[in-house]
Amino acid sequence: MRDTLEKSSPENAVEAVRRAGRRVLRRRFYDKAATAPAGAGFAVRLDGKPVRTPTGHLLAAPTAALAEAIAAEWQAQRNVIDPAKMPLTRLANVIIDGVNDRPGPVAAEIGKYLASDLVCYRAAAPQGLVERQASHWDVIVAWARDALGAQFALGEGVIHVVQPEAALAAAAAAIPDDPWRLSAVHTVTTLTGSALIALALARGRLSAEEAWQAAHVDEDWNMEQWGGDEPALERRAFHLAEFQAAALVLRELAD
């Protein structure tokens, strides 16, 4: 897992990890995954030896609990090491290799989602979907207004809604600046299409289950009407694992 990234950016780091997951899988070569203090954090160790990220950095987390969760992914591997089944390790690699030194572009991308946030675009019909969106999304919009001082405008359909600059600035000010929480919020934002859902999760306004449900109101409605296909369900399960890894980071590093 020592690939060289083309650039130290979150997008390239993510793609490098995904490419690694498509390669021939390495056989498991260790007996025990554990953790040990390392500097200001905790490193993952395999049979006492340090684990390295794709660019050669030490694989470590800021808390013992997060390091132990990463080590548990390694311990859970059987005959081969499958990165696709290690979402927290993948997220840690992205943070260490692609975000630690360049958090600005990650925060800026989250800010772009605020300008076209999922929860601000509502269906005009059918009434059941309208009501379900309102029940999951109105509380998020209200929270942004009351807790962040960000009053977002709502619209129907896909016509772009121009958000007040004051609302965008107020919400952007809530984006975390430490690499681990920032990357977790970025992951949730890109998976859900909503920076407001991600921020509400990071601030404890939504539970992980509530955030996931809010992000999938439309998809769940459509599946109830028409059913779901196997590839879509497989993608959703993969995304859920990524979401849960990010939610774990936010929970462990909550203010």
Query: Can you give the pLDDT at residue 93?
Result: 98
Q: What is the DSSP string of 64-77?
A: HHHHHHHHHHHHH-
Count the alpha carbons within 13 Å of 75 in the hemisphere toward its beta carbon: 13
18: phi > 0 → left, psi -120 to 50 → alpha, else beta; which? Answer: alpha
Query: Can you give the pLDDT at residue 24?
Result: 85
Separation in Å, CA 139 to CA 120, 126, 180, 193, 241: 12, 21, 26, 17, 25
Query: Can you give the pLDDT at residue 19?
Result: 57
Query: Can you give the pLDDT at residue 16?
Result: 56
Q: Is 1.10.3580.10 the CATH classification of the domain at 103-252?
A: yes
> What is the mean pLDDT for each group of 10 consecutive residues in the chain (255 residues)?
37 54 82 96 98 97 98 97 97 97 97 98 97 98 98 95 98 98 98 98 98 98 90 95 98 92
Query: Can you give the pLDDT at residue 228?
Result: 80
Please tell me whether residue 230 adopts helix, strand or coil conformation. helix
Q: Which residue ranges make up each domain of the chain?
A: 10-99, 103-252
Indicate the pTM of the whole model: 0.90
Query: Can you give the pLDDT at residue 116?
Result: 97
Q: Give the pair of three-digit tokens for residue 71.
A: 């080590």
Q: Give the pair of three-digit tokens for residue 1.
A: 């897992």
What top-level class would CATH report for the domain 10-99? alpha beta
Query: Can you give the pLDDT at residue 7?
Result: 38
